[in-house]
Amino acid sequence: MLHAIAPGPVGGAESAVLGLTAGLAEGGVEVVLAVLADASSGPFIERARAERRNVVVIDAPGRNYLRDWSGLRRIMRGLDLDLMHTHGYRADMMGFLAARSDGRAVVATAHGFTDGARMNRLNQWLAMRALQRDDAVIAVSSPLATRLALMGVPPDRIVTIPNAWRPPSVPPLDHAAACARLGLNEAVPLLGWVGRLSHVKGADIALAALARLRNNTARLVFVGDGPDRPALEAQAAALGVASRVRFAGMVPQASSILAAFDALVLSSRSEGTPMILLETIHAGVPIVASAVGGVPDLLAPGTALLVPPNNPAALATAMDDVLTDRGAAASRASVARARVAEHFSPGEWVSRHLAVYQRVMERRAR
């Protein structure tokens, strides 16, 4: 089968695709990973090749949709693949058109919605036209499945499969080594934030919470980059916390440096089932998170501190709590790790995807 994605350098969807394709290949499934590439895709391609994926790059700078379509169609025809699994707006649109032009089956995973800017909303609208006609759509959380149904995807074609997690190929660093890699002072409390600096991820909410902390020695470290960085730097200065904020930029294999942090802060306005939470849980790092999307399903009571979204005051209180009572925070992290091992195993994750593929192919054969 063919998996298609137009990746950024790093991210939750990218990690999920690499984990899923690895699990499928280990189970004996022939998997080809098609990358609709532009200038930002290099780190993903390097990682996929390093992890021995069968990668085919469709070089389409400037979002050349015709090249996307023809490249995907050529791969499917040349390898005689019967099913395409798409990930993300661009792959959803062009994958659907390429597969359907030759009568092939299409499955898509909805990893989440970015909303936001006009172009994002347009791409989302176009992708929804494809999702409404796909053979199956996998939602990574129950709230996302509900939203897909409200947006016109036939409910009988929606399957909810929360993300799972596979150990990374790069071993995680310990606290001292992770701090050294990031150039951080390990003697001060460190709160980590990992993701794309965009409105939907709510980095501005985390900054507003930092300004409210009782613990005025804590530092907030942003790992990642994105369009909101200049505005966030200006916000930090306006709040008087610029000296307590570090923008670390893009960090390859960010899961390896999570032990640098005393807690991870997830302040998103919208989420599916965030891969960064699964990676953080495996690293044994306590979590403070907004209760959005699939986050409450992943972080059951007693595993993390959850707060209402868009609420800097509540987020600040939880951040203070995790730094004040380290024993309770460590206990929650331990419970979270045990729960993920039991309920979010990669084997079950892969098996559920295989069941979807089988149902799709059986339905098309009738």
For the domain 175-343, what is the CATH superfamily, name and number?
Glycogen Phosphorylase B; (3.40.50.2000)
pTM here is 0.86
pLDDT tens digits, 22-80: 999 998 999 999 999 887 788 889 889 988 889 999 987 777 889 999 999 999 999 98
Q: What is the mean pLDDT of residues 8-21?
A: 86
Cα separation, 163 vs 12, in Å, equals 9
Sorted by where each begins, the domain ranges of the chain are 2-164+345-365, 175-343
Q: For 16-20, 58-62, 236-240, 361-365, which range has the lowest pLDDT when averaged over its residues? A: 58-62
Name the residue type at position 343.
H
pLDDT digits (tens, 9 = 90+) for 142-174: 999 999 999 999 999 999 999 987 776 667 899
Q: What is the model's pLDDT at position 117?
A: 62
- CA distances (Å), origin 120, targets 10, 125, 198, 251: 18, 9, 12, 25
Q: What pLDDT, on the 0 to 100 scale, is given for residue 305?
A: 98
pLDDT in tens, 308-340: 999 999 999 999 999 999 999 999 999 999 999
CATH number of 2-164+345-365: 3.40.50.2000
Q: Are 310 and 46 in contact (CB under 8 A)?
A: no
Residues in the chain, overall count: 366
Position 17 pLDDT exceeds 70 = yes
Q: Which of 77, 143, 133, 107 is closest to 294 using CA atoms? A: 143
The span from the CA of 218 to the CA of 215, in Å, is 6
In this prediction, residue 56 carries a pLDDT of: 95
- pLDDT tens digits, 178-223: 999 999 998 999 999 999 999 999 999 999 999 999 999 999 999 9
Number of other residues whose CB lies within 10 A of the CB of residue 284: 14
Instruction: Dihedral sign for Cα 245, 246, 247, 252, please.
Output: negative
